[in-house]
A and B are shown apart, each in its own frame.
Chain A
Amino acid sequence: MSTVAEVPVVNTVPTDQELIDFVVREARLIDQQRFDEWLDMYADDAFYWMPLEWNQTDPRLTCSLMYEDKLLLSIRVERLKGARTFSQKPKSRCHHVLQTPQVDSRDPSTNSYVTWTPMHYVETRLDEQTLYAAWVTHHLGVENGRLKIKLKRVDLINCDAAFGNIQLFM
């Protein structure tokens, strides 16, 4: 499988294209299961949020499918490598199809940039293949010359449906 270069150094104020490339790269690292590099794209105080409710505003007193800090994300990544992770024997694979991310807002004064990306996500495990559709909102910022994810929000179109296992990352 071909690789992509490490996250490029960006200017203090990233261009729209740099934001777009970053979001596309995140999906690619997940698809290629390069999870350690993927984790590196997250700021230390980042959250990965997958709401349970349509238009959910509160991650604390309303339940979510996922609302995970970097510790929990790193536990997931470690678990995927485990010899006794039976739900990953055989392993899942996944595939993202992104629409071109749109830059919704950019505010260099607060170092915050927001992109919006509609996507289809397929997760498979042996004979099972499941398709999900979602909108992904990335809240990004520049740290030490590199873009980092501060918050990634995945709004599934059917967030309130009864799902089977979702084992990888959207």
Chain B
Amino acid sequence: MIRYAGNSEAIRALVREQAVHRDVYVNEEVFQLEMEHMFPNSWVYVGHDSQVPNPGDYYGTTIGTQPVLLVRHTDGTVHVLHNRCPHKGTRITSETCGNTGKFFRCPYHAWSFKTDGSLLAIPLKKGYENTGFEQSQAARGMTPVRHVRNYRGFVFAKINDGGLDFEEFFGESLTSFDNMIDRSPVGRLKVAGGVLRYMHNCNWKMLVENQTDTCHPMVAHESSAGTVVEVWKKAPPGTKKPMAVEIIAPFMSPYEFFENMGIRIWDNGHGHTGVHHSIHSDYSAVPGYFEKMTAAYGEDRAKAILGENRHNTVYFPNIMIKGPIQLLRQFKPIAANKTLVESWTFQLVDAPDMLLERTLMYNRLINAPTSIVGHDDLEMYERAQEGLHSNGNEWVNLQRLYSPDEAGQTNVAVNGTSEWPMRHQFRAWTKFMTMGM
């Protein structure tokens, strides 16, 4: 049954001021429209340029469900190409990442392409003479994604020509990226440590919402973080607190902690938790790090950079970053009820290794398919995905700390348990879903 395609009225009706209809999570047609409209209208994170350091390096990923390649062109610039052969659609690259040399060669019939996607050669070219081939779409090679922006190493792409330009789309939210990057004494990050891939049987937006959901940790994570606190209590007095306890125990912080930490809201669905402090605020100092930062930036600036403890910054539509620990999670949609969660970690170039060690420990303790904290969350998402099939109530409530004047406001900091960021994400969702519909 087609209900939503080309019907922006019906799409808009799914999002009310204080509630969203369950079809945004469970309906396959809505999901297809997200892939067709919302993702192509948005600036979507593709990858980090340290994944493709040399000419010919490539990395394959998706924008929504569309396969794309991030590639370093011969001239050193970074391009994003649709990862399909213009001949018959074959995916061009064999591995997720690698080096293709000066050109891509399709493994099916050996058409070849420069690393900016343009057609280089076709075997038996004569067979295309007098066929009007030059006018075909195939003759233009691998289709590039036209709008690409490399922001201090983080590469974003927008498939559609319409929509907002990069600065307008992200606005002041880029300060979270700045803070994460500035934590390197030389202002540079490098993908490091490997990526955790975790399959979730739920809608991708449940994960996005959860990043600013500060009323769940002390409840849903009581089993994991609560047990950590209990077990740790039994340690003999004077035992040095292990890094793992420092990482997990703060999930059990009381409501007041999260209320007071604050949430900031920016335009277009972006926002962050942890305006004043966060669960990352009280980690032990890493020997030698502050000295390096002071030498690089001067003491005042170093203190300002490290004093910022933003918790989760959500970039609409589908990533979250943790500046204080250099972690980026991407929620890759596969189907209405299926999402691949990738958790990436970064090394601060020229900073002590122990920072990366802690980041990796955080990642495996919180974001791995073997993580007890991850188990707590996924259980809730999957139960929601199931529960939403009930017709007893078709609405998901997002009313917490609602105020009627919030639409249109930007760069405001509010109570850290507000569901404003979620309402805000859905305002953006409606905007980029219906744009050009």
| Chain A interface residues (CB < 8 Å from chain B) | 50, 52-53, 60-67, 69, 71-72, 74-76, 78-79, 82, 84-88, 160-167
Contacts and interface: CB of A to CB of B under 8 A. Distances in A.
Interface in B204-241: 220, 222-224, 226-228, 230-231
Contacts of A87: 223, 375-376, 378-379
B364 A66 contact: yes
A75 B231 contact: yes
Given A64-B364, A78-B230, A164 B199 contact: yes
A79 B369 contact: no
Interface of B: 192-201, 220, 222-224, 226-228, 230-231, 242, 244-245, 340, 345, 353, 356-357, 360, 363-365, 368-370, 372, 374-376, 378-380
**Main SS of chain B's interface residues?**
helix
Contacts of B369: 65, 162-166
Contact of B356 (A61, A88, A164): A61
Nearest to B245: A71
Given A50-B370, A82-B223, A163-B369, 11 more contacts: A63-B194, A63-B345, A65-B370, A75-B231, A82-B226, A82-B227, A87-B375, A161-B197, A163-B370, A164-B200, A164-B201
A2 B287 CA distance: 53
A167 B360 CA distance: 20
Q: Which 10 A-B pairs have the closest CB atoms?
A: A162-B197, A163-B369, A87-B379, A85-B223, A87-B375, A63-B194, A63-B193, A79-B227, A65-B370, A162-B199
A77 B242 CA distance: 18
B228 A75 contact: yes
A75 to B, nearest CB: 5
A87 B357 CA distance: 28
Contact of B193 (A50, A62, A71, A82): A62
Contact of A165 (B226, B231, B345, B378): B378
A60 B357 contact: yes
Given A60-B357, A61-B360, A162-B197, A66 B340 contact: no
Nearest to B229: A75
A70 B100 CA distance: 45
A61 B199 contact: no
Contact of A63 (B196, B227, B230, B231): B196
B222 A84 contact: yes
Contacts of A50: 370
15 contacts: A50-B370, A61-B193, A61-B360, A62-B193, A62-B360, A63-B195, A71-B244, A71-B245, A74-B231, A75-B227, A86-B223, A86-B376, A163-B199, A164-B199, A165-B378
Contacts of B230: 78
Q: Which of B198, B227, B242, B345 has the most CB of A within 10 A?
A: B227
B98 to A, nearest CB: 15
Contacts of B201: 164
Contact of B372 (A67, A69, A79): A79
Contacts of A72: 244, 365
A84 B374 CA distance: 15
B321 to A, nearest CB: 17
Nearest to B369: A163
Q: Which of A53, A76, A78 has the most CB of B within 10 A?
A: A78
Nearest to B363: A63
Contacts of B379: 86-87
A131 to B, nearest CB: 15
Q: Which of B345, B353, B360 has the most CB of A within 10 A?
A: B360
B375 A167 contact: yes
B360 A78 contact: no
A61 B348 CA distance: 13
B228 A65 contact: no
A61 B353 CA distance: 8
Q: Which of A67, A86, A160 has the most CB of B within 10 A?
A: A86
Contact of B370 (A66, A79, A160): A66
A78 B231 CA distance: 8
Given A61-B357, A79-B227, A87-B375, A162 B242 contact: no
Contact of B368 (A60, A66, A74, A75): A66
Contacts of B193: 61-63
Given A61-B357, A62-B360, A163 B380 contact: no
Contacts of A63: 193-196, 345, 360, 363-364
B385 to A, nearest CB: 13
B368 A65 contact: yes
A63 B342 CA distance: 13
Contacts of B194: 52-53, 62-63
A52 to B, nearest CB: 5
B341 to A, nearest CB: 8
Contacts of A65: 196, 364, 368-370
A162 B62 CA distance: 15
Q: Which of B196, B226, B370 has the most CB of A within 10 A?
A: B370
Contacts of A82: 222-223, 226-227
B293 to A, nearest CB: 20
Contact of A79 (B195, B197, B223, B345): B223
A74 B372 CA distance: 12
A93 to B, nearest CB: 16
A8 to B, nearest CB: 29
